[in-house]
Structure 1
Amino acid sequence: MFEVNRRSALKIAAFAVAASSVAPALAADAEVLPSWVDGEAKSRIVDFVAATTTEGGADFVEPADRVAVFDNDGTLWGEQPMYVQLAFVLDRVKQLAPQHPEWQTKEPFKSVLSGDMAGVAASGQKGLVELLAATHAGMSTEEFEKIVSDWTASARHPVSGKPYTAHIFQPMVELIDYLKAKEFKVFIVSGGGVEFMRPWTERVYGIPPENVVGSSIKTKYEPRNGVPAILRLPEIDFIDDGPGKPVGIHKFIGRRPIAAFGNSDGDFEMLEWTTSGPGRRFGLIVHHDDAERENAYDRDSHFGRLARGLDEAPARGWTIVSMKDDWKVIYPK
């Protein structure tokens, strides 16, 4: 028989308390995330949430610090055959082209008008923001919000013919609801335009506009006919993609997340910054590998390219979610 010192005894007691409190939590969460297959990915999520929300546990996190950030395109809704916002911008470019003859020879507008999608895709997120800035300057934020709302209500996916909002991922919406029920503050952190997302994210995901961080153009305050207005300017203010995502989180949220969810290499720095912090952390990558129910793409895709994240996720402890194997359903019924 050996002697256990007081410090070791306290550690053993603390472990026992934590284990006894986590076990009921896991049992209570057995029915959560119903669209997820009962496998490693779901278990990792539930284990992380239980560990960080169980008082007395070694990994307990106060509600104020339970911040979770989600990419949007490819993480919460589809991004093939193109980003949804890009489809919106293409429509606006075509509508406004008669007023801008210079677009016939200037990229990326030239590619839009000629139907050269490879050329448009090559411009990346930066090109998308430039298109948005050029085609929506000179109007108020209220006017732009109406344009977005009207387009979202009428536009249809080119393959399914359904509204784009029908192409949200049911398992991820369940995950958002699960985290919110556990007192997480949930944010969207996207390379897409912030004012393109804010008109509909609360209705579609339950995430209010103040919890949306994204790329933006510059604005200014200016009364119009005696009525105060915020006007949109034809200048890029901030690109919330790649290394810009941690900067945007720091600038607009002010707290380092403890959980981050993405699907592409544009989310790499967000996941890296989140999971390199102290304490229990969680990073997850949605891998589009279901050609039958959604799409199969990663390394060679113009939209949502995933290479570095796919290679480095295992060593970094990030969870890779297979849409094919880990999700029972893709879209809401």
Structure 2
Amino acid sequence: MINFSSNKMLSIPLLILFSSITHASQNVLPSWNDGDTKNKIISFVEKTTKEGSVDFVKPEERIATFDQDGTLWVEHPMYTQFLYIFDRIEYLAQKDNTFKNTEPFKTILTKDPKKISKLTSEQLNIIAATALTGMDVETYNLEVAKWLEKSKDPRWNKLYTELTYLPMRELLDYLRANGYKTYIVTGGGQNFVRVYSDNVYGIPPEQVMGSSFVTKYSYNKAGKPILLIDPSLLINDDFGGKARGIELLIGRKPIISVGNSTGDREMLEYTTSGKGLRLGMLVLHNDDKREYAYGPAEGLPNTEVGRFTQNLYDEALEKGWVIIKMKEDWKKIFSFDE
């Protein structure tokens, strides 16, 4: 046994060692408050990446999937992709007056948030299909990139790509530093997210899967091959579609899955049904001062955008899924927070 008080030669190096370990621990997920949620994440990663651990996961099997809207960035009062689509409908309406007198486009053109918030998912899909049909994929990608460079959220007066959650970006970095491969699995448009996923999250476009329209192979006027967007839906990457998309495009069951709404339930269920240690997490938006508060779980306001029901909350508790409470678990929400 080493006597720390009498062994002067070892005391300084050991103090430095202990100090560095403590410092390293404090540097893990710095925008997360210390507590049960943060501890569970760190403990899980350490157990699954430490060789010799009974819960060790081979590097090639370390797959982590993340929903995007409401999980990695702000989704209220409306999904960012649809804000782009609404702008495109307004552009199309300048060329075609029928939009102004036809629902659901008429509602979009009123720019009334209350009316727009009542549109059903079926109506939103019709709007999206109408806005994008006939565009070639390359033109669409360029248009989205230009829109994101100038469009700002009115509440914070920040670009939408700045409204990412700092704690979640830290989590992505932490997982990748420990050999996990991170994927976005979103109910939103696959091509839309691929435009900025690498720059914003460090997730390359080939690791993004989402809802997608059918494309048709064609040629432009110069004879260049192009892919044209068709109104038919190829993949609805929401609810059970997320599990199907994961199997189709990844081919491995994730070890970790993170979401924030009922649309992510099947992804978490699919992930945590696998053998060995698994981690499912859901973000609960309960901070109306720094971001938004909505559920209706825990008596929070009801919403159709990023709906987190009480049934989902209860199921998460029963199955051991971690509920990340924004108000309690995050020191900072955005990188620009003071």
TM over 0.5: yes
| Distance in structure 1 (CA, Å) of the matches to 2:122 and 2:180 | 31
Matched-pair contact (CA < 8 Å) for 1:108–1:120: no
Pairing partner for 2:308 from 306, 309, 317: 306
| Distance in structure 1 (CA, Å) of the matches to 2:113 and 2:273 | 37
Q: Give the match for residue 321 of structure 1.
A: 324
Pairing partner for 1:228 from 217, 225, 228: 225
| Distance in structure 1 (CA, Å) of the matches to 2:61 and 2:44 | 14
- Residue 149, structure 1, aligned to residue 145, structure 2: yes
| Distance in structure 2 (CA, Å) of the matches to 1:102 and 1:259 | 47
Pairing partner for 1:77 from 53, 67, 73: 73
* Cα 1:25–1:317 shift into 2, 3 Å: farther
What amino acid does structure 1 have at the position aligned with 2:162? A
Matched-pair contact (CA < 8 Å) for 1:275–1:283: yes
* Cα 1:61–1:109 shift into 2, 3 Å: same
Of 187-196 and 303-312, the range deviating more from structure 2? 303-312
- Secondary structure of 1:80's counterpart equals coil
Return the offset for 1:122: 4.2
Q: Give the match for residue 206 of structure 1.
A: 202
Q: Percent identity?
A: 44
- State the aligned residue count: 310
- Secondary structure of 1:330's counterpart equals coil
| Distance in structure 2 (CA, Å) of the matches to 1:120 and 1:243 | 26
Pairing partner for 1:188 from 184, 196, 199: 184
Pairing partner for 2:87 from 91, 97, 116: 91
Pairing partner for 2:285 from 285, 288, 310: 288
* Cα 1:220–1:124 shift into 2, 3 Å: same
Matched-pair contact (CA < 8 Å) for 1:70–1:261: yes
What amino acid does structure 2 have at the position aligned with 1:324? K
* Mapping 1:105-184, distance limit 5 Å: 105-118=101-114, 120-184=116-180
Matched-pair contact (CA < 8 Å) for 1:130–1:236: no
| Distance in structure 2 (CA, Å) of the matches to 1:128 and 1:61 | 41
- Secondary structure of 1:229's counterpart equals strand
Return the offset for 1:282: 0.2
| Distance in structure 2 (CA, Å) of the matches to 1:325 and 1:35 | 12
Return the offset for 1:81: 1.4
Return the offset for 1:158: 1.9
- Secondary structure of 1:260's counterpart equals strand
| Distance in structure 1 (CA, Å) of the matches to 2:21 and 2:303 | 40
* Mapping 1:24-43, distance limit 5 Å: 29-43=25-39
- Residue 55, structure 1, aligned to residue 58, structure 2: no
Return the offset for 1:27: 8.8
For residues 44-89 of structure 1, give each alpha carbon's deviation from its aligned partner in whole angstroms, at most 9, with x where no partner exists.
Answer: 1011111111111111111111110000000000011111111111
What amino acid does structure 2 have at the position aligned with 1:148? V
Return the offset for 1:250: 1.1
Return the offset for 1:253: 1.4
Return the offset for 1:273: 0.9
Gap runs ≥5 in structure 1: 1-23
Please give the root-mean-square deviation of Cα atoms over the aligned residues, in Å.
Answer: 2.0
Pairing partner for 1:258 from 237, 255, 259: 255
Return the offset for 1:100: 4.0
What amino acid does structure 1 have at the position aligned with 2:219? P
| Distance in structure 2 (CA, Å) of the matches to 1:26 and 1:195 | 42
For residues 205-263 of structure 1, give each alpha carbon's deviation from its aligned partner in whole angstroms, at most 9, with x where no partner exists.
Answer: 11110010111111122122221112212222211111111111111111111110011
Return the offset for 1:315: 0.6
Q: Give the match for residue 279 of structure 1.
A: 276
Matched-pair contact (CA < 8 Å) for 1:241–1:266: yes
- Secondary structure of 1:283's counterpart equals strand
For residues 157-188 of structure 1, give each alpha carbon's deviation from its aligned partner in whole angstroms, at most 9, with x where no partner exists.
Answer: 02111111111000000000000111111000
For residues 117-174 of structure 1, give each alpha carbon's deviation from its aligned partner in whole angstroms, at most 9, with x where no partner exists.
Answer: 4554444555434322211222221100111000000001021111111110000000
Matched-pair contact (CA < 8 Å) for 1:129–1:215: no
TM-score (norm 1): 0.88
TM-score (norm 2): 0.87
* Cα 1:216–1:124 shift into 2, 3 Å: farther
Gap runs ≥5 in structure 2: 1-19, 297-301
